[in-house]
């Protein structure tokens, strides 16, 4: 496919906010795509070059892109800076300056040129990146330039995510005679969260071949929330009851003698050097290769107690690793295993995975296999919950004994239980929201730059408002919030936001900052687009360990609301 044709589809996508239309346009695009290029087309339509866990980024900030445009179109950088200041969109500036041509360049050529720029490193790479990007833009027509120039600065956002791409892939496959179920594509993506790879499998009819692979993250299994132990047994039958730790969710991929990759719950790759404790991992693994699901928990060795999340998360810092490791040693609580010696365990019952796990991991020291109790008795769950709370843990996680490893919060496979009332508020649990925008501060807060922020939850690909937060923040939190939000500000409301006109903030921000909020209760709301609102919301912490996929969904909030009414 020629890139000029892809650009025409991107232009159509940019002009519509209808979810059905977006899905239809993408399906049409995917039907026209060849199997050899569909992965590249999917990546570029999402404004990326590869899955996030591969960390393939262009590293061209706005300042460097101004130099790219100056070089590509032989213009004064000051003129481009002025045009950008007026427009607020480097893509529009590039289109205004473009001189035409570009009808012959293919999607694959554009993608390969961008990959080459992204992978350039070492001495003089900044200059080579600018030059390489400029040469690519010179070859493109004005419409294509508008979209390509937005990719390096993360501004391509066309209002859809991988979920819509999966819907479009299914629609395209149906039109071509392949009766693929929505769940088949989603399940394959959860096992191999590379949407380009999944698109290629769909296009070639190989969707059933998706399987865990060492070095590639799996979408993590997450816990639902229930406070009734009798309801847990009713929904899950026989369960495994285990302690809930307040640490970092860490997936460890290891192959002897020394291959190791580490992923967060967001499927972001972490340099193994961040956790020097894992240098000795080989002594604790009785297998050639393995994928472990763990919780890294900070230990206070003097007081023989676990540290809280805020202290543990400092271990993710890239600097002063040795000092950090000595001050906050880690213990890895191992609770699941997804692969061992080439054997896929995704569809094995939990009790079977546990059995294999206990044989594969040396329990004690660096790794501790979570203790567990198999039961059908609600009273035993309650007693264990109280026991673990008294130990300073977060209570219990209850797991269906015969459940498979099901990514996300689908079904009743894992459930976490928390106190109905606690330090954070009267809701049964906190809610993870994305910051959508903010308003200026007044009075004392004028110096902070932020008076309150608008927060939302996920409903498919749409972000819907649920609250405004302007109280309960310390001065330090206001200052930190201002610094973070300034970097994410955007002139236009992101396409995926659904906001009542009366709630429009002074500044919009891209959906990148996740915050954990507590509240007294959930109430119905005629103005918040979620249809519900948080009463007396309070900021608990910034969740840098989560991205947009980890934001609480409207379905989950509806369940909280239902639980609240039955208490």
Catalytic residues: 244
Query: Counting Cβ atoms within 10 Å, is residue 489 exposed (0-12), middle (13-18) or buried (19+)?
Result: middle
DSSP classification of residue 219:
P
DSSP reduced 3-state for 25: helix
With vertex at residue 178, the alpha carbon angle to CA 174 and CA 182, rounded to the nearest 5 degrees, is: 65
Are 20 and 13 spatial neighbours (Cβ–Cβ below 8 Å)? no
What is the C-alpha to C-alpha distance for residues 290 and 287, in angstroms, rounded to an integer?
Answer: 7
Residue 37, both tokens: 């290029």
Strands, E, within 494-545: which ranges?
497-498, 507-509, 514-518, 521-524, 532-535, 538-542
Query: Counting Cβ atoms within 10 Å, is residue 75 exposed (0-12), middle (13-18) or buried (19+)?
Result: middle
Nearest to 349 by CA among 374, 378, 379: 374
What is the C-alpha to C-alpha distance for residues 2 and 128, in angstroms, rounded to an integer?
Answer: 26
What is the C-alpha to C-alpha distance for residues 480 and 506, in angstroms, rounded to an integer?
Answer: 18
What is the C-alpha to C-alpha distance for residues 43 and 33, in angstroms, rounded to an integer?
Answer: 13
Are 440 and 506 spatial neighbours (Cβ–Cβ below 8 Å)? yes
HEC sequence for 409-461? CCCCCEEEECCCCECCECCCCCEEEEEEEEECCCHHHHHCCCCEEEEEEEECC
Nearest to 172 by CA among 38, 11, 289, 51: 38
């Amino acid at each position: 496919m020629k890139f000029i044709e892809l650009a025409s589809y991107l232009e159509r996508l940019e002009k519509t906010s209808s979810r059905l239309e977006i899905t239809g346009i993408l399906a049409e695009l995917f039907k026209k795509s060849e199997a050899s290029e569909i992965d590249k087309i999917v990546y570029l339509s999402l404004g990326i070059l590869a899955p996030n866990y591969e960390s393939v980024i262009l590293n061209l900030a706005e300042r460097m892109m101004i130099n790219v445009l100056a070089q590509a179109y032989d213009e004064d950088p000051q003129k481009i800076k002025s045009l950008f200041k007026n427009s607020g969109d480097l893509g529009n500036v590039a289109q205004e300056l473009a001189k035409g041509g570009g009808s012959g360049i293919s999607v694959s050529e554009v993608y390969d040129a961008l990959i080459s720029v992204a992978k350039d490193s070492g001495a003089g790479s900044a200059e080579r990146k600018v030059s390489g990007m400029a040469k690519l833009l010179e070859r493109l027509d004005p419409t294509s330039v508008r979209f390509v120039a937005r990719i390096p600065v993360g501004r391509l956002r066309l209002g859809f995510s991988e979920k819509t791409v999966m819907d479009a892939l299914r629609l395209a496959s149906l039109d071509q005679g392949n009766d693929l179920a929505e769940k088949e594509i989603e399940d394959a993506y959860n096992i191999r969260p590379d949407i380009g790879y999944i698109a290629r499998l769909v296009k070639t009819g190989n969707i059933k071949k998706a399987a865990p692979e060492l070095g590639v993250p799996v979408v993590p299994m997450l816990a639902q929330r229930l406070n009734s132990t009798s309801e847990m047994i009713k929904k899950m039958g026989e369960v495994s009851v285990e302690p809930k730790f307040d640490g970092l969710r860490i997936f460890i991929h290891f192959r002897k003698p020394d291959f190791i990759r580490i992923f967060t719950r967001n499927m972001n790759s972490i340099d193994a050097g961040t956790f020097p404790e894992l240098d000795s991992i080989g002594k604790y693994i009785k297998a050639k290769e393995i994928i472990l699901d763990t919780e890294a928990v900070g230990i206070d060795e003097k007081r023989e107690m676990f540290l809280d999340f805020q202290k543990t998360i400092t271990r993710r810092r890239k600097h002063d690793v040795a000092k950090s490791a000595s001050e906050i040693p880690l213990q890895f609580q191992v609770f699941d295993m997804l692969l061992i010696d080439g054997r896929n365990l995704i569809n094995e019952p939990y009790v079977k995975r546990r059995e294999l796990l206990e044989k594969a991991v040396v329990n004690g020291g660096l790794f501790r296999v979570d203790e567990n109790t198999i039961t059908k008795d609600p009273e035993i769950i309650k007693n264990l919950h109280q026991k673990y709370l008294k130990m300073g843990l977060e209570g219990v996680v209850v797991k269906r004994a015969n459940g498979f490893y099901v990514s996300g919060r689908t079904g009743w496979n894992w459930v976490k239980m928390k106190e109905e009332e606690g330090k954070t508020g009267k809701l049964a649990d906190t809610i993870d929201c994305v910051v959508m925008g903010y308003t200026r501060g007044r009075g004392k807060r004028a110096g902070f730059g932020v008076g309150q922020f608008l927060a939302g939850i996920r409903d498919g690909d749409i972000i819907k408002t649920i609250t405004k937060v302007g109280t309960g923040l310390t001065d330090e939190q206001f200052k930190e919030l201002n610094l973070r939000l300034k970097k994410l500000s955007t002139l236009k409301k992101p396409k995926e936001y659904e906001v009542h006109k009366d709630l429009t903030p002074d500044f919009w921000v891209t959906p990148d900052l996740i915050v954990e909020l507590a509240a007294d209760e959930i109430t119905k709301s005629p103005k918040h687009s979620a249809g519900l609102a948080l009463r007396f919301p309070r900021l608990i912490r910034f969740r840098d360990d989560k991205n947009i996929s980890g934001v609480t969904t409207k379905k989950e909030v509806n369940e909280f609301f239902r639980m609240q009414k039955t208490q």
